[in-house]
């Protein structure tokens, strides 16, 4: 890695940090500075002026907003995320086990969908214009242009209602055997895999096709190289950067998908926790979950950018 | 005569059959959204069937919902919310984004840098999450939804318009206009905008699809359009209990969303060459 590349990567990291600050400010502002008094909502019927004033003082709501923002922002880095309004537990304790569940779901989905999506994307690009390519393209465009919950409901209709292979919308918290685990994870994983695979297939296909259009691949074609040699030996090594970039970007679609999937399948993950927190207006919990999602998202897109920079042969 | 007619069409404004199908889908949903109150077979709030999650029948073309209300009527009325909210939101976000994008490209300098950095930061909040956070903060109502959707998709429109405008900005006719002493507003309106209009319209269509998807997603989570009103996402949510029996009440609202979004996609992908490549 030379100096120029290092400089670009560092610049990208600095941008990510600045973005993180702006994002955290936006999240804080959206939940705290906007109208709608939390205290009155929390107290409900018991909102006498004295009680409101007392609770405001206890929650430090009378401090200037910028000061509260700084305290909250510092708290993110020291692991102090505040206390949940709804059940008085530290937010970190609430999120911990849920995060593990969500990561499990995301991990299994990634392990399943990345190899399948890459294979489909690369083979579609290899036989561009064939019926196979057209089917894959139409299906992936179809999945991309419908809402995630439609993918989920369709999966339920196909696998649970018509084929009767899997339970419909139940989620068992008690897992005793491998078979049970399979049945529990199958539906959410299938749905999420469809959502992110569609993106990944499209981007991988585009990346490979772009390298196939380069002069050196044309040269190899004119020399009489076979199609598979053309793709595997000449195009693919040069498309690895864009492909890894596509994978990282597609994984960021996990975040949107996971919110829907955890809700529809009643899966005890962070996204479900957050959606529930929205209905109780549990602001510290919402803020922390939102920051968590934003950090993961930022991490994925920054990684994608850095991979694109590092793998660009023109910069070497 | 025939020949000259086809030649005229071949000159760039012809649309192929797939694009036409897309156009018809979009056009008919727009018509439904406008005419809904006069064409619904039953009042939307009225319980018309003793059975809930009723099947497709002569009386109820798309079955009945979890309370025994007619699903066809509810979908037709739901079009007003889904299409209407999304359309207003996409208009706001594209007007704002394109105006800012062109200004940033023409003005340049610090204005451009700071605005770009800020909007890029907004862009790195996942859209569904942004919606959740705002709804948590101020509750859900139709004006709030429209503004939230508009704000979420402004950075994308800005980025797209700015990228196009930067290219136009380096062209000779812009330099000439500058040398003539024209102001920023004139440059934007008379030199930049006419040259990016085609791609911007195509981008508006795609952004409309994203907004429809996000709105439906939020409504599905119970954070979008609130009862007693229901857009298509909310209809799926209401009737999700019918999923294990494969009730038509949960299938058809989803199909309505899919037909709209796929219709727009088909239309945009097959737009006449002249509109798509206006900038080149």
**Block residue for tokens 């699903």:** B71
Residue B70 β-bridge partners: B64
A106 membership: H or E segment, kind and range? helix A91-126
R_g of chain A computed on alpha carbons: 24
Q: Identify the residue with better confidence: A215 or B53.
A: A215
SS3 A130: coil
Question: For residue range A117-156, what is the model confidence (pLDDT) as tens digits?
Answer: 999 998 888 888 889 988 998 888 888 888 888 888 888 8
Q: What is the largest CA-CA distance in chain A?
A: 86
| Per-residue pLDDT at A174 | 57
Question: For residue range A238-292, what is the model confidence (pLDDT) as tens digits?
Answer: 788 888 888 888 888 888 788 888 888 888 888 888 888 887 777 788 888 888 8
Q: B217–A36: do the CB atoms touch at under 8 Å? A: no
Is B88's pLDDT higher than 90?
Answer: yes
Q: How far apart are CA A277 and CA A94, in angstroms?
A: 11
Give the residue on A whose Cα is nearest the Cα of B216: A147
Question: For residue range B33-64, what is the model confidence (pLDDT) as tens digits?
Answer: 888 788 877 777 777 777 777 777 777 777 77
Mutate to test the interface with A, among B113, B124, B255 (most CBs of A within 10 A): B124
Is B8's pLDDT higher than 50?
Answer: no
Who among A145, A148, A156 is closest to B217 (CB)?
A148
Residue A83 β-bridge partners: A90
> Is the ipTM reported for this complex over the cut 0.85?
no
Q: A263–B221: do the CB atoms touch at under 8 Å? A: yes
Least confident of A98-112, A172-186, B56-70, B110-124: A172-186
Nearest C-alpha of chain A: how many angstroms from B248?
11
Mark out chain B residues that contact chain A at CB-CB < 8 A.
Answer: 117-118, 120-122, 124-130, 132-139, 209, 213, 216-217, 220-223, 233, 236, 240, 243-246, 250-251, 254, 257-258, 261-262, 265
- Helix pair angle (A91-126, A253-264), 10° resolution: 120
Q: A30–B128: do the CB atoms touch at under 8 Å? A: no
Who among B118, B126, B258 is closest to A146 (CB)?
B258
Range from B93-107, B132-146, B168-182 that averages highest in pLDDT = B93-107
Residues of B in contact with A157 (CB under 8 A): 243, 246, 251
Token pair, residue A4, equals: 């120029």
Residue B64 β-bridge partners: B70
Q: How far apart are CA A238 and CA A213, in angstroms?
A: 12
Q: What distances in angstroms separate CA A307 from CA A160, A193, A235, one per listed residue?
A: 40, 23, 18
Q: How far apart are CA B202 and CA A312, in angstroms?
A: 31
| Per-residue pLDDT at B3 | 44
Look at chain A and count its residues.
316
Q: How far apart are CA A267 and CA A293, in angstroms?
A: 17
R_g of chain B computed on alpha carbons: 22
Q: A293–B126: do the CB atoms touch at under 8 Å? A: yes
Q: A283–B127: do the CB atoms touch at under 8 Å? A: no
**Block residue for tokens 């500075």:** A33
Q: B257–A23: do the CB atoms touch at under 8 Å? A: no
Q: How far apart are CA A30 and CA B156, in angstroms?
A: 20
A316 CB-near residues (< 8 Å, 6+ apart): A2, A5
Torsion angle of C-alpha atoms B204, B102, B159, A22, degrees rounded to 10: -120
Mutate to test the interface with B, among A15, A26, A29, A30 (most CBs of B within 10 A): A30
CATH 1.25.40.10 fits A95-315, yes or no: no
Domains of chain B: 16-279 (1.10.3720.10)
| Per-residue pLDDT at B104 | 92
- Taking the domains of chain A in order of start, what are their residue ranges? 95-315
Nearest C-alpha of chain A: how many angstroms from B254?
6
Is A202's pLDDT higher than 70?
Answer: yes
B47 φ/ψ angles, rounded to the nearest 5 degrees: -85, 115
Is B12's pLDDT higher than 70?
Answer: no
Q: Which is nearest to A114 in space by CA: A124, A102, A122, A125?
A: A122
């Amino acid at each position: 890695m030379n100096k120029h590349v290092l400089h670009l990567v560092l610049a990208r990291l600095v941008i990510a940090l600045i973005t993180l600050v702006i994002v955290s400010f936006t999240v804080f502002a959206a939940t705290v500075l906007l109208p709608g008094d939390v205290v009155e909502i929390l107290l409900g019927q018991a909102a006498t002026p004295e009680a409101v004033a007392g609770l405001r003082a206890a929650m430090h709501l009378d401090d200037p907003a910028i000061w509260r923002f700084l305290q909250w922002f510092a708290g993110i880095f020291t692991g102090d995320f505040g206390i949940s309004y709804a059940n008085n537990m530290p937010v970190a304790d609430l999120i911990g086990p849920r995060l593990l569940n969500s990561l499990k779901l995301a991990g299994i989905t990634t392990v399943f969908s990345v190899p399948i999506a890459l294979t489909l994307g690369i083979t579609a690009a290899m036989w561009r214009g064939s019926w196979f390519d057209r089917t894959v393209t139409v299906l992936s465009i179809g999945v991309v242009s419908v809402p995630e919950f439609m993918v989920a409901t369709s999966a339920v209709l196909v696998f649970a209602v018509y084929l009767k292979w899997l339970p419909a919308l139940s989620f068992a918290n008690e897992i005793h055997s491998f078979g049970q685990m399979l049945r529990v994870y199958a539906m959410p994983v299938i749905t999420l895999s469809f959502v992110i695979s569609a993106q990944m297939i499209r981007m991988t296909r585009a990346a490979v096709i772009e390298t196939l259009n380069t002069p050196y691949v044309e040269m190899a074609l004119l020399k009489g190289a076979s199609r598979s040699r053309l793709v595997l030996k000449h195009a693919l090594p040069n498309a690895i950067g864009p492909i890894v970039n596509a994978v990282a970007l597609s994984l960021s679609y996990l975040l949107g998908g996971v919110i829907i999937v955890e809700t529809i399948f009643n899966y005890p993950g962070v996204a479900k926790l957050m959606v529930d927190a929205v209905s109780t207006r549990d602001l510290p919990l919402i803020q922390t979950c939102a920051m968590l999602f934003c950090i993961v998202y930022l991490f994925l897109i920054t990684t994608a950018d850095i991979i694109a920079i590092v793998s660009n042969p023109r910069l070497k | 005569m025939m020949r000259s007619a086809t030649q005229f069409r071949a000159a760039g404004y012809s649309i192929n059959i797939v694009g036409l199908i897309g156009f018809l889908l979009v056009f008919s949903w727009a018509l439904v959204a406008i005419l809904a109150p006069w064409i619904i077979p039953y009042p939307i709030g009225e319980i018309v069937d003793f059975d809930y999650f009723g099947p497709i029948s002569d009386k109820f073309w798309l079955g009945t919902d979890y309370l025994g209300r007619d699903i066809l009527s509810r979908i037709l009325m739901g079009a007003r919310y889904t299409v209407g909210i999304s359309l207003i939101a996409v208009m706001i976000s594209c007007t704002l984004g394109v105006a800012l994008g062109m200004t940033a490209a023409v003005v340049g300098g610090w204005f451009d840098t700071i605005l770009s950095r800020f909007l890029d930061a907004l862009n790195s909040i996942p859209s569904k999450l942004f919606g959740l956070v705002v709804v948590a903060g101020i509750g859900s109502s139709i004006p709030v939804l429209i503004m939230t959707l508009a704000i979420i998709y402004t950075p994308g429109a800005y980025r797209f318009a700015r990228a196009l405008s930067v290219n136009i900005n380096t062209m000779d006719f812009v330099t000439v206009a500058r040398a003539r002493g024209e102001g920023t507003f004139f440059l934007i309106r008379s030199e930049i905008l006419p040259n990016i209009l085609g791609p911007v319209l195509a981008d508006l269509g795609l952004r409309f699809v994203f907004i429809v998807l996000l709105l439906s997603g939020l409504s599905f989570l119970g954070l979008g359009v609130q009862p007693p009103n229901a857009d298509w996402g909310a209809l799926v949510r209401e009737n999700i209990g019918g999923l294990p029996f494969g009730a038509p009440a949960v299938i058809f609202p989803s199909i309505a969303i899919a037909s709209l979004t796929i219709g727009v996609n088909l239309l945009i992908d097959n737009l006449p060459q002249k509109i798509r490549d206006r900038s080149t």
